Chain A
């Protein structure tokens, strides 16, 4: 049973650049959520995708955007990178049902460093 996968593992970008992170959900899951985790903090919710649409969004600027594909995989795009965007970006997958979609399983994460 394949778990959540993310790519790339690590990424170094320069301020002002754009980045795309990718995620494939756990087999059987149809919902993907993205979180940002700064050092020493808990994950912060960015947004969630279900049926190829953004269903819920956290307090992140429009520089953060995403997409979900018909195969349930997802991308996170960040434009005009700032130094403060340096963090671990986590993808979590879940199954959309009454309560199950709260049970979220994380991928290994992408460590983004902005210089």
Chain B
């Protein structure tokens, strides 16, 4: 059973601080890694994807991938109250034909 693990939280972050979210996965063949943001009662929104080892930055978001350690993370800089949501880590593998394996999500609460 391929697994994706995330801390459920809640992760409480002061406004303006950096939120750090972690995700580990079990399938060594995984090649595609995604972060989705989901507000309460809404559907997931794709905010970042990363395919290669290292860092990828997009605005206030940075995704970090370490395939050797089977670890992917998301940093949110200058956290805002609007960043309060559940962040889902998703993993894709070549042998899964587009099936994404999701973690249960980490709830982030940004406090003013």
Contact = CB atoms under 8 A, between A and B. Distances in A.
B42 interface: yes
Interface string B85-112: 0001010100011111111110000000
- Which of B36, B49, B96, B99 is packed against the most chain A CB atoms within 10 Å? B99
Interface string B20-32: 0000000000011
Contact of A42 (B45, B51, B88): B88
Contact of A41 (B31, B43, B104): B104
Contacts of A31: 98
Contacts of B88: 42-43
A107 to B, nearest CB: 6
A30 B8 CA distance: 34
Contacts of A55: 97-98
A90 B44 CA distance: 9
Interface residues of B, number: 25
B103 A33 contact: no
Q: Which 7 pairs across A and B sit closest by C-beta, in order of nearness?
A: A42-B102, A102-B92, A102-B32, A101-B98, A56-B97, A109-B43, A106-B43
Interface of A: 31, 33, 35, 40-45, 48, 55-56, 58, 88, 90, 92, 94, 96, 99, 101-109
Given A43-B100, A45-B100, A106-B36, 17 more contacts: A35-B102, A40-B104, A41-B104, A42-B90, A42-B104, A42-B105, A43-B88, A44-B102, A45-B99, A90-B44, A92-B100, A99-B31, A99-B32, A102-B34, A102-B98, A104-B46, A107-B43
